A and B are shown apart, each in its own frame.
Chain A
Amino acid sequence: MSNKKVTGKVWKFGSDINTDLVIPNFAIYMTREEQPAHCFVANRPGWVDEVQPGDILIAGTNFGVGSGRPIGDVFVDLGVFAVVAESFNGLGLRNCVNAGLASLPCKGILDAFDEGDIAEVDWGTGEVRNLTKGTTLTGQALPPEIQSIVEEGGVMAKLKKEGFVS
């Protein structure tokens, strides 16, 4: 059994989910503790009150397009266990990985799930199972070097351990 397997309830989002939706302009200079409350307020108000620790985010193409805003931190703080998207914006992906958030590009993911289904995501192998529907598909697991950043809990944890930052 892979230690990179997470199981949780699915929230579905569309394509082109951008950074400004995750951290709105008015929240950029708020503290990390304050930011999660404003996630998706423009496109899905109230979602932050519904999402539960262990839930899984599923999205369409071009997830995380936009700025350098640390979207991964927000999802980690909201308790999201993994993000699976048809495709990721490169910077969005880096910000998820660097926050220690399991991330998996997976073509066909939007059609394979309805919101509320239970997903089992193995971000080590790329296998995604829809436990509600009994179907399986395989995503494009990130290279091992990148997975190890997630395993270590993100880059800041690594830098702290190595004595570069306080």
Chain B
Amino acid sequence: MGMNAIEKILAKRSGQTVVKPGDVVMVDVDTAVSFDYGKPNIKKIHNPDMLVLLHDHVVPSPTLSAANGAKSLREFVAKFGIKNYFPVGRHGISHVLVAEEGLALPGNILVNGDSHTCSSGALNCLARGMGPSEMTYIICKGKTWYIVGPTTKIVLEGTLSEGVFPRDVIHYIAGQHGDFAGRNLEWYGPGLEAIGMDGRLTMATISAELSVEFSLFPYDKVLADYLDGRAKKPFEPSFPDDDAVYDQVITINLSEIEPQVVLPNKVAWNSKPISEVVGKHVDQAFIGSCANGRLSDFAIAAQVVKGKKVAEGTRFIITPGSQEVMRQAVKAGYVETLLEAGAVVTNSTCGACYGGHMGLLADGEVCITASTRNFKGRMGSAEAEIYMGSPATVAASAIAGVIADPRVALKVKELA
């Protein structure tokens, strides 16, 4: 009986020939990513070259505590001689940065102290988030454990319609299938070929909201082209055996999906087609985070708002996922288009996505966001409501001042 691509990585890195659902495996970790704060209590580390350290949630430091945390991170870098360190100025959201920098690689095991680490699954990299104490453990010992979960195979067929994006696909899955707690996702199908790396990274990132253990995309031409000249070291992709076992197969015809909006407070079993939620007033519209802070998100937002103005009574904030995304978005003219429309383009940071140091929601306010989560109180007041949509939906809503169908905005532009 064959293994799927996830099981094959777990078997290889745990030194076993076969693993199956229910097994507990102790694996060697290839890469561990940590951010913002040093860990001054650590006396010895496993291997400085497995670490990637950076600043993302609180950058540049908005508080004295964050400033001292950043200082302790720099001290950690110096103390242990960490080469893969991204100081302020070369910063970015960890999941965006490790992809851009070719540090999350196919067939590798990567951990990170942030829950959206499954983002790197788009790179055929077996990646998941860890809590702070477990990150300390892995930094010290270079190992961790996994319980091998059953795997769902997602097969994408067909093509996305105009105005519908990968973000809508993952919302659709959350709405139709709920959470996948304790389970894995592997993504395949002819529909995937037309979805680029930015879209795959969005779907892999939001897999965290489906409570998956791992979300793994195949090593195909799209990924190979992306890694060409970018990968920092050689790698061995993981492919499923021909007789790989999947516990469940979900086939999705992309052409049948319309834009999907997630309603406030939770993600599983909580999305609706946009036609059922249009017209809801929004005080704030946000695009950013590890889910949608990439260049194509800026491109879509700029396309939707070009020549228009953000509605009175609505704030539109857009945050690049890295300094590199910012540089490219400036170069392509997207930033200028967004500023002309009245959007606020911010520094690269996790910032508004988690109610960090900016873009907070007041009591009773409504936000439409293309970031990662809609939990109660997530972006500020516990009395605020957070809806989630694709970057196109968010940009169209910013212009309309209400939740709006991006297909209308895009069509009007085509006719003009």
Contact = CB atoms under 8 A, between A and B. Distances in A.
Contact of B24 (A43, A62, A146, A159): A146
A65 B44 contact: no
B268 A16 contact: yes
A156 interface: yes
B65 A29 contact: yes
Q: Which one of A70, A156, A159 has the greatest number of beta carbons of chain B within 10 Å?
A: A159
Nearest to B211: A89
Contacts of B172: none
B179 A65 contact: yes
Interface stretch (A91-99, A110-118, A124-132): A91-99
A165 B181 CA distance: 32
A68 B131 contact: yes
A72 B213 CA distance: 18
A70 B132 contact: yes
B66 interface: yes
A18 B374 CA distance: 11
Contacts of A42: 376-377, 382
A66 interface: yes
A65 B137 CA distance: 22
B141 interface: yes
B179 A98 contact: no
B181 A146 contact: no
B24 A143 contact: yes
A166 interface: yes
Interface stretch (A1-9, A20-28, A46-54): A20-28
Contact of B136 (A25, A41, A88, A155): A155
Given A66-B375, A164-B141, A91 B128 contact: yes
Contacts, number: 133
The bracket for how many chain A residues form the interface is 35 or more
Contact of A164 (B24, B43, B379): B43
Contact of B41 (A91, A105, A165): A165
B22 to A, nearest CB: 8
B378 interface: yes
A88 B44 contact: no
B297 interface: no
Q: Which one of A28, A67, A69 has the greatest number of beta carbons of chain B within 10 Å?
A: A67
A89 B113 CA distance: 15
Given A91-B129, A146-B145, A165 B42 contact: yes
Contacts of B43: 163-166
A69 B131 contact: yes
Given A164-B42, A165-B41, A18 B131 contact: no
Given A145-B145, A164-B141, A18 B65 contact: no
B277 to A, nearest CB: 20
Interface majority SS (helix, strand, loop, mixed), chain B:
loop
B43 to A, nearest CB: 6
B47 interface: no
Nearest to B383: A42
B211 A62 contact: yes
A96 B132 CA distance: 12
Interface string A152-166: 001110110001111
Contacts of A28: 354
Contacts of A154: 133
Contact of A98 (B114, B134, B382): B134
A108 interface: no
Contact of B266 (A16, A73, A91): A16
Interface in B284-320: none
Nearest to B112: A68
A61 interface: yes
B121 to A, nearest CB: 13
Contacts of B376: 20-21, 42-43
A65 B212 CA distance: 10
Contact of A88 (B66, B182, B266, B373): B182
A29 B114 contact: no
A15 to B, nearest CB: 8
B63 interface: yes
B82 interface: no
Interface string B186-218: 000000000000000000000001011100000
A26 B379 CA distance: 10
Given A68-B130, A89-B179, A165-B140, 16 more contacts: A20-B373, A21-B376, A25-B355, A26-B355, A42-B377, A62-B179, A66-B373, A66-B375, A68-B132, A70-B133, A73-B133, A105-B182, A145-B145, A154-B133, A155-B134, A164-B141
Interface of B: 24, 26, 41-44, 58, 63, 65-66, 113-115, 128-134, 136-137, 140-141, 145, 147, 149, 179, 181-182, 209, 211-213, 266-268, 354-356, 373, 375-380, 382
The 4 closest A-B pairs by CB, nearest first: A25-B355, A42-B382, A95-B131, A164-B140
30 contacts: A16-B179, A18-B375, A20-B378, A21-B375, A21-B376, A24-B377, A25-B355, A29-B58, A29-B63, A29-B66, A42-B377, A62-B211, A65-B267, A67-B354, A68-B130, A68-B132, A72-B131, A87-B181, A89-B211, A91-B115, A91-B128, A95-B131, A95-B133, A98-B131, A155-B134, A156-B136, A159-B136, A164-B44, A165-B136, A165-B140
